[in-house]
Structure 1
Amino acid sequence: MHMQLGMIGLGRMGANMAERLVRGGHTVVGFDPSPEARGLASSKGISPAASLAELIDRLPAPRVLWLMVPAGKIVDDTLAELLPLLSRDDVVVDGGNSFYKDTMRRGQMLAEQGVHYVDCGTSGGVWGLAEGYSLMIGGETTAVERLRPIFATLAPAPDRGWGRVGPGGAGHFTKMVHNGIEYGLMQAYAEGFAIMQHKTDFALDLHQVAEIWREGSVVRSWLLDLTADALGKNPKLAGIAPYVEDSGEGRWTAAEAIDLNVSAPVITLSLLERLRSRDGDSFADKLLAAMRNEFGGHKIKAE
């Protein structure tokens, strides 16, 4: 079934999702504050709008609007600008990585105006355009059902890789935990490969090991496929700083685990390891060296 929708935010994820929808036979009007992003979108069959007001004007009511903007204040600002333009029964989908409690608050606010709010935790990254996206959806059943053709087109298959997981907020909550698990998996692979890299007597070819593990092994996964790919392109990881960012989802997962009295040491420690990676001048490590010197006369290595 053909649908019309507005995509707000034509960055890497938003533009790719809009393109996948266009390829699937839907009509997409797109808005992004950047003229470059709008120009690029128009070359992919997405019809660009110069403003949010124009985007709303060009969609038939009841409208479907999909937000692909960074989590936090930008979502609130966009909704504040949209609300006066929206009509009863319009549906707004937040497909970004919003904190689920913010989602619940926003859903309440929109419901007061008769507008439906659907949260969609989206996984798939830069590969989603070709492979499809994994979609974890929260919101009223009727609103989600109305968008079924859109989810079916975005997902890897119409009946796989997507589903309504619960009421408003449940989609973003599930995606938050998904990202927490991702931190733990990545950390385990990273530690294992580091141990092998340090075993110099065996001169292991890490790319070869990764390739062997990809077939039939208990630890095979898409993350391992990507790891093998990275090691194939750059076996020594030359030019990569040992500095790891985090998008915030791992922090929320760890905090939620504490709130719920759930022990989540692997996810929590993998987050702490990322924070550790950014401390190029660790006061804690200097103090450890100083303590060892105080109690045991152990030598301090000068900077």
Structure 2
Amino acid sequence: MSAITDNSILEGRSGTFGRLSDFFWRNPKILLFLMLAPPLLWLGIVYLGALFALLLQSFFSIDEYSGLINYEFTLDTYRQLLIPSNFDIILRTVVMAALVTLASALIAFPIAYYAARYARGKWKALFYLGVMLPLWSSYLVKIYAWKLILAKEGILTWIFAKLHLSWLLDGWLSLPIVGGNSLSISYTGTFIVFVYVWMPFMILPIQAALERVPGNLIEASADLGGHPAQTFRYVLFPLALPGIIAGSIFTFSLTLGDYIIPQIIGSSRLFIGQAVYAQQGTAGNIPLAAAFTVVPIVIMGLYLWMAKKQGAFDAL
């Protein structure tokens, strides 16, 4: 009986599909190659090819008289990034991305800690619903909603007036850098909307990292006489750090490349995304737009390399 069964397996099946199935069963590496080839070709040609074309464009220059692209290798376009007006755009964007990431981590950590340590059953389901629900609505709808909230006649101004704190809001808006005519056209408003929009991308990785922290480690720290601050500093924070870094990858990179939020809620001073849009669409200076685009790619490349060394990808 065993010999008959073995022979039936080794003989193979008849028909085109049967023989093809037997061939792939005997050669699994060929099947794996055929399955991975389409997405790898798409990644290599469309994504990496576009990045390579973009990088190539950044080494060209624009003729000042004709406005045409000069297809000769040069570093003059990158030197233009060091002009004070262009360098300020880069610095402004990086500082905003860093502040948004830091604020998101400070706000997200207690929320994620509560969800990981205390939320159970329907409360954990409610937590996931609350975190994910903002992601289900339109990106532009959320931004325009915040523009109405932060406007001079918006609900936030009304709340300050009801609390007799209009003087505090007016004093803040009078500050030279963070202020403006209203919150809806200031860096403060831009910062608030950035934090709100990207917050879920920080909460979930931290919550996933905290889920992996054994509860007996916290109890052992308390049994050994560790204060809550010491337990947080020496036990909880180091184990949650990969999740924080993983979340910062999202918040930092998304803020670094976004141009819609600063365009709708912000001042006339540009961010990198707006500069790319202006140089490519309005000014027609594609090489300079490409050079601006390379900046966040390089920054995120270095950031991802440092995040990998910290084990952040384990929390993704």
Q: Same fold (TM over 0.5)?
A: no
Q: Which has the higher strand share?
A: 1
> Given the two structures, how large is their TM-score scaled by the length of structure 2?
0.25
Q: Which has the higher contact order (CA 8 A, sep 6+)?
A: 2
> Given the two structures, how large is their TM-score scaled by the length of structure 1?
0.26
Q: Which has the higher helix share?
A: 2
